[in-house]
C-alpha cells in the first residue's frame, strides 16, 4: 500500500510537470505581446520626447532626412486611404455577404466563396504589383493624371484586400440568424426582402459592424501594396479631399525609411514612434471589434 | 417562389453585382500574374543565380524562411492550443492568453518588423538574418496556428480522451495518442494557412531578415536571406524600369505557392469533414 | 355527406422530401370556423402537411409538392397567385414559441406593418386588441417595450398567437403549440383555441389525443402520410371506424 502511494505520487508529479511545461509554452504569446509593447515604447518614446508629441503627431512637415518630423501628412494619408477603401469595400462586402447568405443556395455559396477567400490569401506584394502595373496606368489614363499613383488608386487596391474580411464574417453572421425568426416573418406574409430588412439584418448588425472594424484595423496596417501605388509623397493633398494626388502612409514611410536610417538616431526613434501610433490604433480597433463581436447575439465566428 | 412582390424579383440580380465584381477582381489578378508569369518563366531563370540574372536564391530562400518559421511555431502553437483546450478551458489563465493572442493577431506586420529589428536583430544581436526572420515571423504566425489548432482539438469529442484515461493512460498520453492524431488534419489546415501567410509576407522581413543581393544561399541561420517577396518589392519600387520578366516569374511562383497551399488546406478540411465519423 | 363548401381543401396532395414520399394522396376538406385536429404518431408528416397549407414548405429546398391546395376554391400553388396575401390569410403558430427579436409591441405590430399599416394609433389599437384576445394584455400592458424574450415560454406562445391574429387571418394553423409548455400554460392555450375557434378556422396538429378530444370539433388521423380516418371528434374517439385508428387511440403504438 505504501508502494502504491509512492507510485501515484510520482505520476502526479509527472502530470504536473507536463502541465507546467505547457503553461510556460502557452505564456509565450503573452510574453511576445509584452515584449512588443516594451520594445516599441522603448525605442519610440525618445521620439516623443525629442520631437515633442504635438510636433510629431500634428506637425505637417515630414522630411526626416532634413530633421523635420511632423507626421501629420502620414497620419492623414493613412486615414485618407483607409476611409477611401472602406467607402468602397463596405457596400461591396455587405451586399456580397447578403447575397451569399440569403440569395443563393448554400451549396452554391460554398462553391463560390473560396474564390473570394482566395483574395484574402494573395500576398500584398502581388496586389501591389497588380496595382502598379494594371490599375495605375488605367487610372492615369481614365482621369488624365500624370501619374497613376494616388490615394484613389491605393484605396481601390486596399478595398480589394480588405473586402474578403467583411464578406466572410458578415455572411457567416447573417447565415446564423436563427431560422425561427425567418419562418415567423414569412408565415405572417412578409416578403423575403421585408424579412431581411426588418428581422435578419438588424439581428446581424453587430456582427457586420465588428467585421468592418476588423477590416479597418487591417487596412490601416497594410504596408507594401499601399506603398507601391500611393505615390509616397508625404504631403497633405491641397484640396484635402483630392484623392487624385499622391500621399504617403504611416506604414509606407516606416517601410521606406527603416532600411536606411541610422540606428539610434532621432529619425529611427521617430519611426518607432509611428509604430506606436499604429500599434495603438490597431489595438483599439481590434479590442472594440472583439467586444462588439461578443455582444452579437449570433454564434461564434472565426476571425 | 420566395419573393412575391414584382419589385423584389430584381433583388437577387442586383445583389449579385458586388459578388461578381469581386470574383472578376480575383480572376483578373490571377490571370495577370498567371499569363505574365507563364510567358516569362523558364527553367534557366529558375535555376540561375540572381547574380547571373536568375531567381534561384529567392526561391530557395523563401523555402528556408518558411521551414524554419514553421518548425518553431508549430510545436509552440500546438502545445499552447492543447493547454488552452485540455488543461485550462476556462478561467483567468485562459482569458489572459486568449486576449494576448487576439491582440497579437491584430498587430500590423510592419510593427512586427520594427519589433523584430529592435529585439532580435539588435537587442539579441542576431543581426539581419534568417534566424531573426524565423523568430519575427513566428511571433506573427503564432496566433493563426494556435487558433486553428484550438478549433481542431476542440472538435475532438471529450469522450475519446476520457475513454483512454479510463483505461489507465495518463492525460498527456491520451492527448498525445488520441486527441492530437484525431485533430491532426485540422491542425494541418491551419499550419498550411500559416505557411501561406508567411510565404507572402514582406513587411515583417523587410529589414529584419532579407536582403536584395548576396552571394549564394545562407550557410548559417545568422546569414541574411533572399526571398521572393522582398526581391519583387525591390525590383518594382527601386528600379526606374524594372526587369519585368523576372518579376513576373517570381510573382507566378509566389502566387502559385500560395494558391496551392490554400487549395491544399481546403482539401484537407473537406477530407477531414468527410472522415469524421462522430 | 357535408354540403357546405370547405374553407380549405387538398386534392391529391403528395409531398416528397427528396426521395422520401411523406404525404401520400391526401384529400382533406377543412371547414370554416371549426377546430380541426390532426393526430398521428410522430414523424408521420403532420407538420409537413400543415406547412403545405401556407406554403411555408417552400422554404425547404429539397421538397417537392404535387396536387392542389384550395383556399376558398382557389389553388394556392398556382404560380401567379399572391403568396403574400395567402400567408396573411393563413396564420401559423409554431411548436416552439418563436418571438421575433424585438419588443412585445413590435412583435404584434410586425405583421400589420409589413402589410402596409403605418399609422401608430391604428397599430396601437391592433396590438391591444390582439393581446386582449389572447388574454395577455393584462400581463404585459405596462411593459410593451420590453424584449419579447423576457416573457415566460407560455406567455411567448400567446404572444405568437397574438402576432398571428394581428394580420386578421381567416385560418390559424397550430403546429403542436403546447408541446413546449407546462400544464398550466397548456390549459390557457387550449382555452384560447376553443374561444378563437368560433371566429377562426383552426387546424391544430397534436400528438396528444386528449388535447385533440378537448379542443376540436373534427379530427383527422394521419398515419404514414395517409389520412386513415376523418370525422367528428367525439365519435372518432368513442367509436373509431378503422382498426388502425382504434389501435392508435388506445395506445397500441405511437
Give the tens place of pLDDT for each residue, C83-107. 889 999 999 999 999 999 999 999 9
Task: Kindly list the distances between the CA atom of residue B235 and the CA atoms of B53, B179, B248, C43, C138, in Å, as whole numbers in the listed order.
Answer: 12, 47, 11, 68, 77
* A188 interfacial to chain C (CB closer than 8 Å): yes
Q: Mean pLDDT throughout C222-242?
A: 88
d(CA A240, CA B143): 38
| Averaged pLDDT of chain A | 87
Residues B13 and B128 in one domain: no
B2–C58 CB contact, under 8 Å: yes
* Cell 530562400 found at: B61
The distance of C158 to chain A (nearest Cα, Å) reads 14
Query: Is the confidence at residue C1, as pLDDT, over 60?
Result: no
Q: Please tell me the predicted confidence (pLDDT) of residue B1.
A: 42
- For residue C107, being part of any structural domain is answered with no
* Cα–Cα–Cα angle for A216, A217, A223, rounded to 5 degrees: 100
Q: Is B201 found in the same domain as B255?
A: yes
**Residue A275, Cα to own-chain centre: how many angstroms?**
15
Mean pLDDT (whole number) for A84-92: 95
Q: Which residues of C touch A189 (CB under 8 A)?
A: 84-88, 111, 114-115, 167
pLDDT at A106: 81
Is residue A4, in this structure, part of any structural domain at all?
Answer: no
CATH of the domain at B260: 1.10.3720.10
Same domain, yes or no: B84 and B4: no
For C15, which DSSP code?
Answer: E
Nearest to A290 by CA among A281, A276, A280, A300: A300
> What secondary structure does DSSP assign to C40-99, as a single string?
--TTSSHHHHHHHHTTGGGGSTTEEEEEEEEETTEETT-TTS-HHHHHHHEEEE-SS---
Q: Are C57 and C63 in contact (CB under 8 A)?
A: yes
Higher pLDDT, A7 or B240: B240
B184 and B228 within one domain: yes
Q: Chains near C, with 3+ CB pairs < 8 A? A: A, B
Residue C2 has pLDDT above 60, yes or no: no
How far apart CA B82 and CA B182 sit, in angstroms, is: 13
Q: Which residues contact C108 (CB under 8 A, 6 or more apart)?
A: C126, C127, C130, C131, C159, C162, C163, C166
Confidence of residue B176 (pLDDT cuts 50, 70, 90): confident
**Which position has the grid cell 534568417?**
B130
Structurally, chain B folds into a number of domains equal to 2
Structural domain span for residue A119: 53-295
Counting beta carbons within 10 angstroms of the beta carbon of residue A192, is it exposed (0 to 12), middle (13 to 18) or buried (19 or more)? buried
**Which residue on chain B is closest to A32 by alpha carbon?**
B139
* Secondary structure class of C16 (helix, strand, coil): strand
- Of residues B222 and B216, the one with the higher pLDDT is B222
Are the C-beta atoms of residues B206 and B230 closer than 8 Å to each other? yes
Could you list the residue range(s) of the whole structural domain that residue C71 is in?
A: 8-101+173-249
ipTM of the complex in this document: 0.90
3-state class (DSSP) for residue C204:
strand
**CB interface of B with C, residues 3-62, below 8 Å:** 4-5
- In this complex, do A188 and C163 lie within 8 Å of one another by their Cβ atoms? yes
- C131 found inside a domain: no
Q: Is the pLDDT of residue A299 over 70?
A: no
A191-231 per-position pLDDT tens digit: 889 999 999 999 999 999 999 999 999 999 999 999 999 98
Instruction: Pick the residue of B19, B193, B240 with the most A CBs within 10 A to test the interface with A by mutation.
Output: B19
How many other CB atoms are there within 10 angstroms of residue B10's CB atom?
10
Element (H, E) at C159: helix C153-165
Classify C220 as helix, strand or coil: strand
Q: CA distances (Å), B123 to each of A42, A48, A199, B171, in order?
A: 12, 21, 56, 40
Whether residue B266 sits in one domain with residue B162:
yes
What is the average pLDDT value for chain B, to the nearest integer? 87
If you count them, how many residues does chain A have?
Answer: 303
Inspect the interface and report whether the beta carbons of B108 and A278 lie closer than 8 Å: yes
Per DSSP bridges, beta strands C226-232 and C35-39 are unpaired
Does pTM surpass 0.90?
Answer: no
pLDDT at A9: 43
- Between the two ends of chain C, the Cα-to-Cα distance in Å is 30
Task: DSSP letter for C143, please.
Answer: G
- The C-alpha angle with vertex A103 and arms to A97 and A107, in degrees rounded to 5, equals 85
DSSP state of C103: B
Count: domains in chain A: 1
Which is nearest to B198 in space by CA: B158, B149, B258?
B258
Identify whether C61 is part of a domain: yes
CB of A52 less than 8 A from some CB of B: no
Q: Which residues contact C1 (CB under 8 A, 6 or more apart)?
A: none
CA distance C27 to C11: 5
Structurally, chain C folds into a number of domains equal to 1
| pLDDT: which is higher, C134 or C44 | C134
Identify whether the C-beta of residue C246 lies closer than 8 Å to the C-beta of residue C240: yes
Per-residue pLDDT averaged across A57-63, rounded? 86
Residue C33 lies in a domain: yes
- Are B68 and B171 contained in the same domain? yes
**Nearest 5°: CA angle at C117, between C116 and C121?**
165
Q: CA of B6: which chain C residue's CA is closest?
A: C82
- State the Cα torsion B240-A72-A235-A82 to the nearest 10°: 70
Whether A38 has its CB under 8 Å from any CB of chain C: the answer is no
d(CA C136, CA C185): 12
pLDDT band (50, 70, 90) for residue A15 = low
Structural domain includes residue A7: no
Query: How confident is the model over B1-6, as a mean pLDDT?
Result: 56
Do B160 and B251 lie in one domain? The reply is yes
Range scoring the smallest mean pLDDT among A290-299, C118-127, C155-164: A290-299
With the CA atoms of B181, B182, B183 and B184 taken in that order, what torsion angle do they form, in degrees rounded to the nearest 10?
40
DSSP chain B: ----SGGGGGHHHHHHHHHHHHHHHHHHHHHHHHHHHHHH--HHHHHS-GGGT--HHHHHHHHHHHHHHHHHHHHHHHHHHHIIIII-SSSHHHHHHHHHHHHHHTS-HHHHHHHHIIIIIIIS---SSHHHHHHHHHHHHHHHHHHHHHHHHHHS-HHHHHHHHHTT--HHHHIIIIIHHHHHHHHHHHHHHHHHHHHT--TTTTTTTB-S--SSS-SSTTS-B--HHHHHHHHHHHSSS--HHHHHHHHHHHHHHHHHHHHHHHHHHHHHHHH---
Is C158 within 8 Å of chain A by CB? no
Nearest chain A residue to B242 by CA distance is A133
pLDDT reported for residue C79:
83
Q: Cell triple for residue C161?
A: 398567437
Average pLDDT over every residue of B145-162: 86
Q: Would you say B66 and B199 are in contact if contact means Cβ atoms under 8 Å apart?
A: yes
Instruction: Give me the pLDDT at residue B264, please.
Output: 92
Compute the distance between CA of residue B29 and CA of residue B27 in angstroms, rounded to an integer.
5
Same domain, B146 and B242: yes
What mean pLDDT is predicted for residues B194-207?
91
> CA-based Rg of chain C, rounded to a whole angstrom?
18
Percent of chain C at pLDDT > 90 equals 68
Query: Looking at residues B92-109, what average pLDDT do you find?
Result: 89
Average pLDDT over residues A81-110: 92
d(CA B61, CA B111): 23
Mean pLDDT over B31-58 rounds to 87
Task: State whether residue A67 is helix, strand or coil.
Answer: coil
Residues B169 and B48 in one domain: yes
Separation in Å, CA C224 to CA B101, B174, B255, C26, C64: 54, 47, 57, 11, 17
Q: What percent of chain B has pLDDT over 70?
A: 96
Find all residues with CB under 8 Å of A37, minimum gap 6, and list them: A279
Is the Cα torsion angle B129, B130, B131, B133 positive or negative in sign? positive
pLDDT over 80 at B4, yes or no: no
- DSSP for residue C148: G
* Cα A75 from Cα A54, distance rounded (Å): 13
Summarize pLDDT for C186-209 with one digit per residue, the tens: 999 999 999 999 999 999 999 888
- Mean pLDDT lowest for which of A242-246, A248-252, A258-262, B142-146? A258-262
**Same domain membership, residue B81 and residue B100:** yes
Q: Are C181 and C153 in contact (CB under 8 A)?
A: yes
> From CA A261, how far away is CA A278, in angstroms rounded?
19
Distance CA A128, CA A158 (A): 9
- Pairwise CA distance, residues B110 & C137, whole Å: 61
Nine-digit cell string for A281: 490604433
Q: Give the mutation candidate from B78, B118, B209 for the A interface (greatest A CB count, under 10 A).
A: B118
Task: Note the pLDDT tens digit of each residue in A141-193.
Answer: 988 888 888 999 999 999 999 999 999 999 999 999 999 999 999 999 898 89
Residue B242 has pLDDT above 70, yes or no: no
Assign residue A283 the CATH number of its domain.
1.10.3720.10
Probe site for chain A from C93, C100, C171, C180 (most A CB atoms < 10 A): C100
Three-class SS state of C28:
strand
Residue A90 domain flag:
yes
Q: What confidence score (pLDDT) does residue A302 get?
A: 37
Tell if the CB–CB gap between B111 and A39 is shorter than 8 Å: no
What is the rounded CA–CA span in Å between residue A65 and residue A266? 10
**CATH classification at residue C50:** 3.40.50.300
Is residue A20 situated within a structural domain? Answer: no
Whether A46 is covered by a domain: the verdict is no
HSE (side-chain half, CA atoms, 13 Å) at B124: 18
Domain that holds residue B68: 43-275
**CA distance to B218, C54, C65, per residue, from C18 (Å):** 61, 20, 11
Distance CA A90, CA C243 (A): 64
In a domain, C16, yes or no: yes
Amino acid at each position: 500500500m505504501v508502494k502504491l502511494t509512492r507510485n501515484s505520487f510520482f505520476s502526479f508529479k509527472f502530470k504536473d510537470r507536463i502541465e507546467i511545461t505547457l503553461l510556460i509554452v502557452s505564456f509565450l504569446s503573452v510574453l511576445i505581446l509584452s515584449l512588443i509593447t516594451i520594445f516599441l515604447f522603448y525605442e519610440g518614446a525618445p521620439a516623443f520626447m525629442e520631437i515633442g508629441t504635438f510636433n510629431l503627431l500634428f506637425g505637417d512637415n515630414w522630411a526626416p532626412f532634413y530633421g523635420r518630423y511632423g507626421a501629420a501628412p502620414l497620419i492623414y494619408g493613412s486615414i485618407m486611404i483607409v476611409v477611401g477603401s472602406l467607402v468602397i469595400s463596405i457596400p461591396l462586402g455587405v451586399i456580397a455577404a447578403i447575397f451569399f447568405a440569403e440569395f443563393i443556395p448554400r451549396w452554391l455559396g460554398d462553391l463560390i466563396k473560396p474564390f473570394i477567400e482566395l483574395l484574402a490569401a494573395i500576398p500584398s506584394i502581388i496586389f501591389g504589383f497588380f496595382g502598379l502595373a494594371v490599375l495605375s496606368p488605367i487610372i492615369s489614363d481614365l482621369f488624365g493624371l500624370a501619374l497613376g499613383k494616388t490615394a484613389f488608386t491605393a484605396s481601390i487596391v486596399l478595398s480589394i484586400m480588405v473586402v474578403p474580411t467583411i464578406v466572410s464574417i458578415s455572411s457567416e453572421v447573417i447565415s446564423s440568424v436563427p431560422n425561427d425568426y425567418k419562418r415567423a416573418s414569412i408565415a405572417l406574409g412578409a416578403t423575403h426582402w421585408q424579412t431581411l430588412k426588418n428581422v435578419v439584418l438588424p439581428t446581424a448588425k453587430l456582427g457586420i459592424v465588428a467585421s468592418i472594424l476588423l477590416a479597418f484595423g487591417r487596412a490601416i496596417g497594410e504596408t507594401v501594396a499601399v506603398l507601391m501605388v500611393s505615390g509616397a509623397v508625404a504631403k497633405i493633398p491641397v484640396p484635402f479631399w483630392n484623392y487624385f494626388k499622391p500621399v504617403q502612409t504611416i506604414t509606407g514611410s516606416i517601410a521606406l525609411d527603416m532600411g536606411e536610417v541610422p540606428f539610434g538616431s532621432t529619425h529611427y526613434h521617430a519611426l518607432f514612434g509611428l509604430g506606436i501610433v499604429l500599434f495603438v490604433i490597431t489595438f483599439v480597433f481590434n479590442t472594440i471589434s472583439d467586444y462588439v463581436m461578443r455582444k452579437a447575439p449570433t454564434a461564434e465566428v472565426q476571425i | 417562389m420566395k419573393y412575391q412582390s414584382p419589385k423584389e424579383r430584381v433583388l437577387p440580380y442586383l445583389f449579385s453585382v458586388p459578388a461578381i465584381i469581386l470574383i472578376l477582381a480575383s480572376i483578373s489578378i490571377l490571370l495577370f500574374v498567371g499569363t505574365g508569369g507563364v510567358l516569362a518563366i523558364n527553367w534557366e531563370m529558375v535555376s540561375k543565380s540572381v547574380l547571373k540574372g536568375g531567381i534561384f536564391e529567392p526561391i530557395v530562400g523563401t523555402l528556408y524562411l518558411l521551414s524554419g518559421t514553421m518548425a518553431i511555431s508549430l510545436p509552440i502553437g500546438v502545445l499552447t492550443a492543447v493547454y488552452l483546450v485540455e488543461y485550462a478551458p476556462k478561467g483567468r489563465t485562459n482569458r489572459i492568453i486568449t486576449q494576448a493572442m487576439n491582440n497579437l493577431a491584430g498587430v500590423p506586420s510592419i510593427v512586427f518588423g520594427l519589433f523584430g529589428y529592435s529585439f532580435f536583430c539588435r537587442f539579441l544581436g542576431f543581426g539581419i538574418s534568417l534566424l531573426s526572420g524565423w523568430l519575427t515571423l513566428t511571433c506573427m504566425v503564432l496566433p493563426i496556428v494556435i487558433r486553428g489548432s484550438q478549433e481542431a482539438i476542440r472538435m475532438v469529442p471529450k469522450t475519446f480522451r476520457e475513454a483512454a484515461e479510463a483505461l489507465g493512460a495518463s492525460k498527456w498520453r491520451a492527448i498525445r495518442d488520441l486527441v492530437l492524431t484525431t485533430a491532426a488534419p485540422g491542425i494541418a489546415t491551419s499550419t498550411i494557412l500559416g505557411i501561406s501567410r508567411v510565404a507572402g509576407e514582406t513587411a515583417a522581413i523587410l529589414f529584419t531578415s532579407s536582403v536584395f543581393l548576396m552571394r549564394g544561399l545562407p550557410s548559417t541561420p545568422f546569414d541574411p536571406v533572399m526571398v521572393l517577396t522582398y526581391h519583387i518589392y525591390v525590383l518594382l519600387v527601386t528600379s526606374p524600369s524594372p526587369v519585368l520578366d523576372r518579376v513576373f516569374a517570381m510573382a507566378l511562383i509566389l502566387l502559385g505557392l500560395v494558391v496551392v497551399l490554400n487549395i491544399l488546406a481546403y482539401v484537407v478540411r473537406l477530407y477531414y469533414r468527410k472522415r469524421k465519423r462522430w | 355527406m357535408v354540403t357546405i363548401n370547405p374553407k380549405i381543401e387538398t386534392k391529391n396532395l403528395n409531398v416528397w422530401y427528396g426521395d422520401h414520399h411523406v404525404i401520400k394522396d391526401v384529400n382533406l376538406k377543412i371547414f370554416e370556423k371549426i377546430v380541426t385536429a390532426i393526430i398521428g404518431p410522430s414523424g408521420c408528416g403532420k407538420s409537413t402537411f400543415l406547412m403545405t397549407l401556407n406554403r411555408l414548405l417552400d422554404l425547404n429546398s429539397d421538397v417537392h409538392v404535387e396536387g392542389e391546395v384550395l383556399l376558398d376554391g382557389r389553388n394556392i400553388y398556382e404560380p401567379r397567385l399572391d403568396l403574400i396575401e395567402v400567408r396573411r390569410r393563413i396564420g401559423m403558430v409554431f411548436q416552439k414559441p418563436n418571438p421575433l427579436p424585438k419588443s412585445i409591441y413590435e412583435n404584434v405590430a410586425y405583421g400589420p406593418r409589413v402589410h402596409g399599416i403605418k399609422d401608430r394609433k391604428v397599430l396601437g389599437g391592433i396590438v391591444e386588441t390582439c393581446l386582449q384576445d389572447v388574454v395577455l394584455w393584462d400581463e404585459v400592458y405596462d411593459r410593451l417595450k420590453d424584449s419579447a424574450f423576457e416573457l415566460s415560454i407560455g406567455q411567448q406562445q400567446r404572444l405568437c398567437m397574438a402576432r398571428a391574429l394581428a394580420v386578421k387571418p381567416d385560418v390559424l394553423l397550430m403546429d403542436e403549440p403546447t408541446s413546449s409548455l407546462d400544464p398550466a400554460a397548456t390549459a390557457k392555450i387550449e382555452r384560447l383555441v376553443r374561444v378563437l375557434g368560433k371566429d377562426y378556422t383552426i387546424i391544430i396538429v397534436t400528438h396528444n389525443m386528449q388535447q385533440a378530444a378537448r379542443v376540436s370539433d373534427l379530427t383527422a388521423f394521419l398515419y404514414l402520410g395517409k389520412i386513415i380516418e376523418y370525422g367528428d371528434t367525439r365519435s372518432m374517439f368513442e367509436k373509431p371506424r378503422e382498426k388502425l385508428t382504434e389501435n392508435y387511440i388506445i395506445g397500441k403504438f405511437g
